[in-house]
């Protein structure tokens, strides 16, 4: 089963909003509202920033939001800040085969 | 505070074996599903394996099926990954992670580096 599809890179200026897409299939994203997003700074451990599509763990900024439509999930970061520059990964449970799928990751650059 | 600490990584030749351990503390270990996720140098996250809370159900990525075995010791709050017949493409950092609901990995260890090379 293939990994979820994310753009390799996105960029934005401070204060702007960006959206990262995560394309799956009817066997994973399309079947469950169990999509999570992770932020990883260079050399650091991944951090959960969204779960169950749009829920934020305690302590995560409300500038991070999530949505899902059909087989595609999206992460939106509003009011971009320099500290948001990192790699972002989506993740979903899968109906068949591999239990868990990650996206290939998206490098966010804050200009 | 939740704490996960991996150990057992290192350099191994192709075809060799390693056993990773993950010591858990700060939470009720036997209530959570646990997973291993790996990351090759400069690459993305890849799910490796899962074990349910009592150790009776396991799943593996196709790339490691038949070579890796996940297990847990709830009496000692420890997760394991036995890796046999290692290949160069298994090289990477292996993270132990806790799942709240299937793929909600809310806590991660610092990772154990595994290098498979001759």
Are A46 and B105 in contact (CB < 8 Å)? yes
A25 to chain B nearest CA, in Å? 17
pLDDT at res. B70: 98
Tell me if residue A76 falls in helix, strand or coil: strand
Give B43 to chain A, closest Cα distance, Å: 8
B95 neighbourhood in chain A, CB within 8 Å: 45-46
Question: What whole-number distance in Å separates Cα of residue A85 and Cα of residue B5?
Answer: 27
Residues A41-90 pLDDT 10s: 999 999 999 999 999 999 999 999 999 999 999 999 999 999 999 999 99
Averaged pLDDT, B88-104: 93
B102 within 8 A of A93, measured Cβ to Cβ: yes
Task: Kindly report the average pLDDT of chain B as a whole number.
Answer: 96
Are the CB atoms for B47 and A99 separated by under 8 Å? yes
State how far residue B36 is from chain A, nearest Cα, in angstroms: 11
* CB contact burial A91-107 (16+ within 10 A = b; e otherwise): bbbbeeebbbbbbbbbe
Please determine, for residue A97, whether its predicted confidence score (pLDDT) is greater than 90.
no
A5: which chain B residues are within 8 Å (Cβ-Cβ)?
none
Interface of B with A in 45-104 (CB under 8 A): 45-47, 50, 59, 61-62, 95, 100-104
pLDDT band at A27 (very low <50, low <70, confident <90, very high): confident
What's the pLDDT tens digit per position in B60-89?
999 999 999 999 999 999 999 999 999 999
Query: Are B46 and A4 spatial neighbours (Cβ–Cβ below 8 Å)?
Result: no
Q: Is the pLDDT of residue A1 over 70?
A: no
Q: In this model, does residue A22 exceed pLDDT 90? A: yes
Please tell me which residue of chain B has the smallest CA distance to A37: B104
Residue B74: count other Cβ atoms within 10 Å of its Cβ. Answer: 15
Average pLDDT over residues A12-22: 97
């Amino acid at each position: 089963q293939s990994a979820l599809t994310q753009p390799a890179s996105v960029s934005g200026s401070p204060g702007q909003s960006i959206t990262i897409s995560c394309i799956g299939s009817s066997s994973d994203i399309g079947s469950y509202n169990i999509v999570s997003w992770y932020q990883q700074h260079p050399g650091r451990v991944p951090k959960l920033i969204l779960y169950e599509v749009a829920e934020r763990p305690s302590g995560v900024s409300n500038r991070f939001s999530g949505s899902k439509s059909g087989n595609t999930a999206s992460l939106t970061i509003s009011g971009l800040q320099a500290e948001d520059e990192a790699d972002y990964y989506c993740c979903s449970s899968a109906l068949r085969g591999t239990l868990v799928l990650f996206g290939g990751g998206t490098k966010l650059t804050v200009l | 505070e939740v704490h996960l600490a991996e150990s057992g990584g290192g350099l191994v030749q192709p075809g060799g074996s390693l056993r990773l351990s993950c010591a858990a503390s700060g939470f009720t270990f036997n209530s959570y599903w646990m997973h291993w996720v790996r990351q090759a140098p400069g690459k993305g996250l890849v799910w490796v394996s899962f074990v349910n809370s009592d150790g009776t159900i396991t799943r593996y990525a196709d790339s490691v099926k038949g070579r890796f075995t996940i297990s847990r010791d709830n009496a000692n709050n420890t997760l394991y990954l036995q890796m046999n017949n290692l290949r160069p493409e298994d090289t990477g950092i292996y993270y132990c992670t806790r799942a709240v609901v299937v793929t909600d990995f809310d806590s991660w260890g610092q990772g154990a580096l595994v290098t498979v090379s001759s």
